[in-house]
Structure 1
């Protein structure tokens, strides 16, 4: 699959949502093409560089997203909300002449649908508290609190972790291993 790549300092995972502000011409053009062709793009976490400008290094595991809403913001910029569909691996990446990062990606296998084990029963409680934040609440995400994938994905997105740690959590394919790691990280935060 040949898609635009959108390097950010934040992540989104399957079924998660993230609001974005677009102002660079390359991203406005990307948005127009995505809407016209009814396709998405891939959000990848920045390894080095800035979200603006063309010099950026990014991780090769990201999430294919689709635009679910867009509007003109009070600051005059174009605001969009995207929702994650599937984790992908960037096989090859390059820059188009307009500076847009593009790449060939492969979808990763879906993670197993598993219940949250009893030893991690406090993680859905933490997630419920995070979802009450007004910015997160505005995203109107549906969360399945007994699904280990969903709980792990949302906590990975919402917890204040450094980006390398977030990327490690993104790259895990075992939802229980992710919950185990999140549990340890929360204990360390306390």
Structure 2
């Protein structure tokens, strides 16, 4: 989903942002995340974002926090996304799309009167996130595609290989990372990877471990 706004410098980004804690959710720069929003506090957050700069921070609760905790501790690194699509369902829900802009580190969580949480983000260490395609030439594309092929075959899944082959490395790595079925810790490792090459290597390694475990389970069941 294309954005009408392009951010060239971190100084152009808001100094305070609302956050949406969501377990095992991964948003990456220029990636697209569809959300089905129904909780009143997050409906209010979307309303305020539309009236403001349209930036929302996606972030995970701490992995050890309880699922039912209404105000869990959060990890320190998330990704700021711009609200690029919005629709009402007629039954009180919003269907929205966030397009990733840049990662951020939580500098401070604020005491606020809004029903949703807000933080002061620090974008400094992630300034290169604003540069499309940064570092994509260093990605081992062959290794990534081989691992993807192995994963699809092991799970009897199909893919649009023409689209995959046409996709630039950044779009391919980030889309596969966001769609991956892994847990909160793996998703956080993918988010915090220092560069695109590292993210691709983590994705390959985690996928290969998952495939190895599956093969081991299959072998055990045959003995």
Report TM bin, short chain: 0.7 to 0.9
1:173–1:95: structure 2 CA closer, same or farther, 3 Å change rule? Answer: same
Q: CA deviation at 1:152?
A: 2.5
Q: Who is 1:66 aligned against?
A: 82
> Aligned to 1:5, which of 19, 22, 32?
19
Answer whether contact 1:70 1:78 (CA < 8 A) is retained: yes
Q: CA deviation at 1:24?
A: 2.7
Q: Counterparts of 1:17-56 in structure 2 under 5 Å?
A: 17-47=32-62, 48-50=65-67, 54-56=70-72
Q: Who is 2:136 aligned against?
A: 114
Per-residue deviation, residues 52-72 of structure 1 (Å, max 9, x unmatched): 863212111111111111112
* Cα distance in 2, alignment partners of residues 35 and 123 from structure 1: 42
Q: How many residues align?
A: 178
1:180–1:109: structure 2 CA closer, same or farther, 3 Å change rule? Answer: same
Q: CA deviation at 1:95?
A: 4.6
Answer whether contact 1:5 1:101 (CA < 8 A) is retained: yes
Q: Who is 1:139 aligned against?
A: none
* Cα distance in 2, alignment partners of residues 40 and 68 from structure 1: 10
Per-residue deviation, residues 38-94 of structure 1 (Å, max 9, x unmatched): 3311010122244x8632121111111111111122654122111111111111113
Q: Higher helix fraction: Structure 1 or Structure 2?
A: 2
1:49–1:68: structure 2 CA closer, same or farther, 3 Å change rule? Answer: farther
Answer whether contact 1:123 1:151 (CA < 8 A) is retained: no
Per-residue deviation, residues 143-173 of structure 1 (Å, max 9, x unmatched): 97332x3332222211111111110110011
Answer whether contact 1:144 1:151 (CA < 8 A) is retained: no
Q: Who is 2:186 aligned against?
A: 165
> Aligned to 2:168, which of 143, 146, 166?
146
Q: Who is 1:103 aligned against?
A: 119
1:166–1:2: structure 2 CA closer, same or farther, 3 Å change rule? Answer: same
Gaps of 5+ in 2: 1-14, 212-223
Q: Who is 1:137 aligned against?
A: none
Q: CA deviation at 1:104?
A: 0.3
Q: Higher strand fraction: Structure 1 or Structure 2?
A: 1
Q: CA deviation at 1:123?
A: 5.8
* Cα distance in 2, alignment partners of residues 131 and 84 from structure 1: 26
